[in-house]
Structure 1
Amino acid sequence: MGEFVQLTAADGHRLQAYKAVPGGTVEGAIVVIQEIFGVNSHIRSVCDGFAGDGYLAIAPALFDRTERDIELGYAADDIARGRALKGEVGYDEALLDTAAAIAALGDRHRVGIVGYCWGGSVAYLAACRLDGLSAAVGYYGGQIADFAAETPKVPTMLHFGRSDASIPMAAVEKVRAAQPGVECHLYDAGHGFNCDQRGSYDKTSAAVARERTLSHFLQHLRG
């Protein structure tokens, strides 16, 4: 359903992005921000899924700044490598590339953003700092609490797992206390519960979170 295209960020950096186009009427557009595993088969399937729901979807390859064509799995070695790669890309650079993806979607549609894991934190910051968005969703972003003092400029929804070993409930409560206008949902699941390629995948939680996410985008991107 999708294909790789090339984007150019404001600082001249050129990066790849996976773009999926709906077969029928385009109801809106969504920027999909990767986990620490690159624009792998899971992230591409997420884009394809949103395209199936009528949204133009694009996932920028945020690791292209340090190494191109990164596509990792979910084994221990992949996790270690993904964490190392994430450490080489700062949030400022990630937001430059995210802004390029927003711009690539044009001005014909309202644009939303959704991110997973590291991408959840990037999506939250994009909602706070970037222009051109109409809605945002973040899944289990581990650094969102670090930026809790920053208020999103667009309606924002966050998903967290109650048994997430990477994100203590104290961090979630910090976000809730600092940003009462941000819609937060908790699930009886762990980190990465949305990804059906991970051992932590929770089918029920993923389905409920996706229904809420689609409802959020339906409300703020369509019409």
Structure 2
Amino acid sequence: MTGTITIDTDQGSFAAYRAEPADTPRAAIVVIQEIFGVNAGIRRKCDTLAEAGYLAIAPDLFWRFAAGVELDPDVKPEFDRALELMGQLDQDAAIRDIETTIRTARRLLPEGGKVGVVGYCLGGRLAFMAAVRTDVDASVGYYGVGIDGLLGEAQAIAHPVLLHIPEEDHFVDKAAQQRMHDGLDGHAKVTLHDYPGEDHGFATEFGTRRSDASAELADKRTAAFFAEHLG
């Protein structure tokens, strides 16, 4: 079952897409959007997780200034608009919204149920931030931008983290990728996977950015990670 729920904060309320499994959820996963909003691709990510037995919730992180926006990265004016919206986002506020969504997900699960996060692009960065700033049980980030600038917080990681890194990411150069490896390869809770020849957005559900073989491999690794750490 799919639909929209409303999540309340002390600053107002925001919508979130919700996909539920047919039976009792094995756990919950908060799906963190790209810069394109909670669009068809993000909703499809949620639906796939629900098919695997998880309660999936994707909060609208742009609700303060562009509530409900959905953009297509393959349409240049929409891509440009997404970049503008990213510049308006207060990422600290976004983490608070994600934390609120995590708490909401815990309330919707049976007692003791675990909650993970998975994010893409902007959401990949926010998934890493959630790992260091919230009590989330497991975090996955796909092609997160600027994680190399957050490595000073890595000592706060208490639960497992998985990061997918395309080696030809035009938003994350080779030097930044190396800094991520230097800062995280020795961390007992963090696993990094590199994808030779792949660019940013390779695991998107729809559109020209998708690279099927690598997307399927990354998603298989993510599924195994969540099965191990969330149940």
Question: Which TM-score tier does this pair reach, normalised by the shorter chain?
Answer: over 0.9
Contact map agreement 2:49 2:56 (CA 8 A) in 1: yes
In structure 1, the residue matched to 2:124 is 120
User: After the TM superposition, which residues 96-115 of structure 1 pair with which residues of structure 2 at under 5 Å, given as runs?
Assistant: 96-107=96-107, 108=110, 109-115=113-119
User: After the TM superposition, which residues 206-217 of structure 1 pair with which residues of structure 2 at under 5 Å, given as runs?
Assistant: 206-217=215-226
Q: Distance in 1 between matches of 2:207 and 2:90?
A: 26
One-letter amino acid of the counterpart of residue 119, structure 1 = G
Contact map agreement 2:44 2:205 (CA 8 A) in 1: no
Query: Are positions 1:137 and 2:140 aligned together?
Result: yes
One-letter amino acid of the counterpart of residue 34, structure 2 = E
Classify the secondary structure of the residue corresponding to 2:168: coil
> Share of identical aligned residues, percent?
38
Q: Distance in 1 between matches of 2:17 and 2:205?
A: 19
Q: Distance in 1 between matches of 2:159 and 2:8?
A: 25
Q: Distance in 2 between matches of 1:61 and 1:202?
A: 26
In structure 2, the residue matched to 1:163 is 168
Name the stretch that deviates more: 138-147 or 191-200. Answer: 191-200
In structure 1, the residue matched to 2:91 is 91
In structure 1, the residue matched to 2:195 is 187
One-letter amino acid of the counterpart of residue 145, structure 1 = D
Q: Distance in 1 between matches of 2:153 and 2:177?
A: 15
Q: Distance in 1 between matches of 2:193 and 2:144?
A: 13
- 1:21 offset after TM fit, Å? 0.4
Q: Distance in 2 between matches of 1:78 and 1:197?
A: 15
Name the stretch that deviates more: 116-125 or 180-189. Answer: 180-189
Q: Distance in 2 between matches of 1:198 and 1:163?
A: 18
In structure 1, the residue matched to 2:211 is 202
In structure 2, the residue matched to 1:174 is 179
Q: Distance in 2 between matches of 1:106 and 1:135?
A: 13
Contact map agreement 2:45 2:205 (CA 8 A) in 1: no
Q: Distance in 2 between matches of 1:77 and 1:210?
A: 29
Name the stretch that deviates more: 170-179 or 44-53. Answer: 170-179
One-letter amino acid of the counterpart of residue 89, structure 1 = L
Contact map agreement 1:114 1:137 (CA 8 A) in 2: yes
Q: Render the CA deviation track for 1:55-111: whole Å, top value 9, x for unaligned.
A: 000000000011111011111111111111111111111011101110111253100
Name the stretch that deviates more: 103-112 or 122-131. Answer: 103-112
Classify the secondary structure of the residue corresponding to 2:116: strand
CA RMSD, aligned part only? Answer: 1.1
- 1:198 offset after TM fit, Å? 2.7
- 1:178 offset after TM fit, Å? 1.2
One-letter amino acid of the counterpart of residue 127, structure 2 = A
Classify the secondary structure of the residue corresponding to 2:69: coil
Contact map agreement 1:5 1:19 (CA 8 A) in 2: yes
Return the TM-score normalized by structure 2: 0.92
Unaligned stretches of 5+ residues in structure 1: none
Classify the secondary structure of the residue corresponding to 1:141: coil
One-letter amino acid of the counterpart of residue 146, structure 1 = G
Classify the secondary structure of the residue corresponding to 2:106: coil
Contact map agreement 1:192 1:198 (CA 8 A) in 2: no
Contact map agreement 2:31 2:57 (CA 8 A) in 1: yes
